[in-house]
Chain A
Amino acid sequence: QSALTQPASVSGSPGQSITISCTGTSSDVGSYNYVSWYQQHPGKAPKLMIYEVSNRPSGVPDRFSGSKSGNTASLTISGLQAEDEADYYCSSYTSRTTVFGGGTKLTVL
């Protein structure tokens, strides 16, 4: 299974909105609504931010939202805050395996 495709980096100023894309294939993102997004700060474990395309776990701010169209999923962060600066990974379930994206480094300017 090939990794899902994410932009290497995105940036935005505090208060702005950014969107990170995650492109897969008809075998993974396009076939299953089991797309998740994870936030990882340096030296820390990943943290689940969005699951099943658009659901937020308890405690995750509603500034984080997810969506999917065809083979591409997206994570949108509105009202950017300094603490949002981190690496973000998408993942998709596919046929008894999970494939991750290569990761996107979000810089808050």
Chain B
Amino acid sequence: QVQLVESGGGVVQPGRSLRLSCAASGFTFGSFSMHWVRQAPGKGLEWVAFISYDGSNKYYTDSVKGRFTISRDNSKNTLYVQMNSLSADDTGVYYCARGASVYSKSDWGNFDYWGQGTLVTVSS
């Protein structure tokens, strides 16, 4: 069965960095695009970033452009997001979600599987 397991969250001071990981199993990771989505405490969902199946295309929400970098290692079935210059506004649960298969008509996908999330708290 499809499994996505995030890790790397924790408490970090404003201005510092953190790298999150998402370990995938149960499907051919290298054939799917992937996303990061976050949820601030008590708030709604916010799309953060996209990476194509081969890592050649990456897109970000405006608020993280220049600070976050999404990447993947298909040999390790793992998705990453490097988060720099963190602020309190970045606090929340970060989910990885599966996008589309390389065989789909769209590369974006429908977020059909989600991990359990990892909590990032930015606080001094």
**Residues of A in contact with B (beta carbons under 8 Å apart):** 3, 34, 36, 38, 44-48, 51-52, 57, 89, 91, 93, 96-103
Interface size range of chain B in the complex: 20 to 34
Shortest Cβ gap from B85 to chain A (Å): 21
Assembled-state Cα–Cα distance A97/B111 (Å): 13
Q: Point out the residues of chain B lying under 8 angstroms from A89, CB to CB.
A: 44-45
- Give 5 new A-B contacts, CB below 8 A, not counting A34-B108, A45-B117, A103-B44: A52-B110, A89-B44, A89-B45, A96-B50, A97-B61
Q: Which of A46, A57, A98, A99 has the most CB of B within 10 A?
A: A98
Q: Smallest Cβ distance from B95 to chain A, in angstroms?
A: 6
Residues of B within 8 A of A (CB): 35, 37, 44-47, 50, 59, 61, 95, 106, 108, 110-117
Query: Do residues A51 and B110 form an inter-chain contact, with CB atoms below 8 A?
Result: yes
Q: CA of A103 to CA of B50 in the docked complex: distance in angstroms?
A: 22
- Pairs A–B under 8 Å by Cβ, sample size 10: A34-B106, A36-B111, A47-B114, A48-B110, A89-B44, A89-B45, A91-B111, A98-B47, A100-B45, A101-B44
Chain A residues contacting B50 (CB-CB under 8 Å) are 96
- In the complex, which residues of chain B have a beta carbon less than 8 angstroms from the beta carbon of A100? 44-47
Closest to A45 in B: B114
CB distance from A11 to the nearest CB of B (A): 19
A45/B115 in contact, CB under 8 A? yes
Which residues of B lie under 8 Å from residue A96 when comparing CB positions?
50, 59
- Report how far A51 CA is from B111 CA in the complex, Å: 9
Contact B108 A91 (CB under 8 A): no
Residue in chain A with minimal CB distance to B58: A96
Instruction: Give A9 Cβ to nearest chain B Cβ, in Å.
Output: 13
